[in-house]
Amino acid sequence: MRRIPGTSGEILHCVQNDKKRIMAKMNFGGVTEEVVTRKEFPLQKAKDVLKNEVIAIIGYGVQGPAQALNLRDNGLNVIIGQRKNSPSFEKAKKDGWKEEKNLFDIEEAAKRGTIIAYLLSDAGQIQAWPTIKPHLTSGKTLFFSHGFGITYKKHTGIVPPKDVDVILVAPKGSGRTVRKIFLEGRGINSSFAVFQDASGKAKEKVLAMGIGVGSGYLFETTFQKEVYSDLTGERGVLMGALAGIMEAQYNILRKKGHTPSEAFNETVEEATQSLIPLISENGMDWMYENCSTTAQRGALDWRHKFRKAVEPVFKELYEKVKSGHEAEVVIKANSKPDYKKQLRKELDEIKNSEMWKAGARVRELRPGVSKK
């Protein structure tokens, strides 16, 4: 029996879906899913599929460099499209890309590329679309790492021509992690999707790109599901809900007379330094089995109360993501000329709050951390 890092499923068996493709069927908590690993889709196969392609990575921000360098190190034909007079252009040069050889402005790279990997920020994708679209000629492929532009086409205006393939590989981690894990010889988990299959070969192309950018295993999704789960996740447990629930607990402890040290340690520090790493390694079930009986009884009882309290908020959040409301808010905010200034104000409010100032001090006092 073989296990794949990052999953708890065991491979049940491999299925030959058609002559060219093999996917592994795996059991995830009782639900069978088809996934693709490097065993089913080796790098050599990816190179064969992509051997005649010029992969134009448009955007050298966070994902761009990671995917471009991994593809290049995997022996694929990569060029970069990045607007000039920008620190990102200089960064690309530092990473070894050569101007007018494999580093161009956005339009030139889009013209030369046969797979156009659209890795600009979501707002950048909207603005640069009129430049990209004319170069999406018949037979080319448009590649994304997020379903935003396509799913919210009503707001983004991104509607690709019918005679191009439109595919997605979304690594489940920051660009820095994508590159770091690759350099360590491991692979990131990624989702993949096909939105438009004009060539009849979009699926093998997307899997080849997935393996090429350094994925360890790939699971299937749709553009819509990718963006709905991603936007719900970052507004929810990953950041919005996490920040909100931490603030609520900190505030109540402070109101009841606890010191900032005590409130911060009981709310954030113990969670991030001790419990979350343990949950990551062993799961929540293990955590419940390996805490004091007092913590265990209380946490088992209160878990239900908290779930019931926040379920309606998550329901509202999902509906707002699904309706396009969240996309509209983001696009509107990002297009305001003073957006960065307003954003700075909001971020400073968090940074200068008692809670997070107390946090900065607590971090300085961690064992082994030298004082700034």
Ligand X SMILES: NC(=O)c1ccc[n+]([C@@H]2O[C@H](COP(=O)([O-])OP(=O)(O)OC[C@H]3O[C@@H](n4cnc5c(N)ncnc54)[C@H](OP(=O)(O)O)[C@@H]3O)[C@@H](O)[C@H]2O)c1
Q: Which stretch binds ligand X (CB under 6 A): 122-130, 282-290, 294-302, 350-358?
A: 122-130
The count of chain residues that interact with ligand X, using the rule CB under 6 A, is 23
Nearest to 220 by CA among 267, 259, 270, 168: 168
* Residue 127 found at the interface with ligand X (CB under 6 A): yes
**Using the rule CB under 6 A, which residue among 9, 175, 212, 214 binds ligand X?**
175
Binding flag, residue 128, ligand X (CB under 6 A): yes
Interface segment toward ligand X; rule CB under 6 A; list 54-62, 72-80, 203-211, 214-222: 54-62
Q: Which residue has the tokens 């920051």?
A: 174
Please report, as residue ranges, which positions from 58 to 77 form the binding site for ligand X (by CB under 6 A). Answer: 59-64
Are 115 and 141 a contacting pair, CB within 8 Å? yes
Which position among 34, 75, 107, 124 is part of the footprint of ligand X (CB under 6 A)? Answer: 124
CA angle 44, 37, 213 (to 5 degrees): 60
- Candidates 9, 160, 171, 212; binder of ligand X (CB under 6 A) is 171
Rounded distance between C-alpha atoms, residue 274 and residue 106, angstroms: 45
Among 120, 166, 218, 358, interactor with ligand X by CB under 6 A: 120
**210 near ligand X, rule: CB under 6 A:** no
258 is catalytic: no
Tell me if 119 contacts ligand X by CB under 6 A. Answer: yes
Residue 290 makes CB contacts below 8 A (sequence gap 6+) with 278, 282
Return the ∠ at Cα 194 (arms to 188 and 196), rounded to 5°.
Answer: 150
CA distance 356 to 260: 10
Distance CA 264, CA 122 (A): 35
Judged by CB under 6 A, does residue 212 bind ligand X?
Answer: no
What 3-state class would DSSP assign to 55? strand
Residue 86 in the binding site for ligand X (CB under 6 A) = yes
Does position 145 bind ligand X by CB under 6 A? Answer: yes
| Closest distance to ligand X from the beta carbon of 28 (Å) | 21
146 near ligand X, judged by CB under 6 A: yes
At residue 25, what are phi and psi to the nearest 5 degrees?
-95, 125
Return the residue of 7, 37, 70, 82 that touches ligand X, per CB under 6 A: 82
Q: Among residues 151 and 267, whose Cβ is nearest to ligand X?
A: 151
Q: How many CA atoms lie within 13 A of 52 on its CB side?
A: 3
Whole-Å CA distances, 242 to 192, 249, 292, 326:
27, 11, 24, 18
Name the closest residue to ligand X (Cβ). 61
Q: How far is CA 159 from the centre of its chain?
A: 22
Taking contact as CB under 6 A, which single stretch among the options 47-55, 116-124, 211-219, 328-336 is the one that binds ligand X?
116-124
Residue numbers at the binding site for ligand X (CB under 6 A): 59-64, 82-83, 86, 88, 119-122, 124, 127-128, 145-146, 170-171, 174-175
Could you list the active site residues? 146
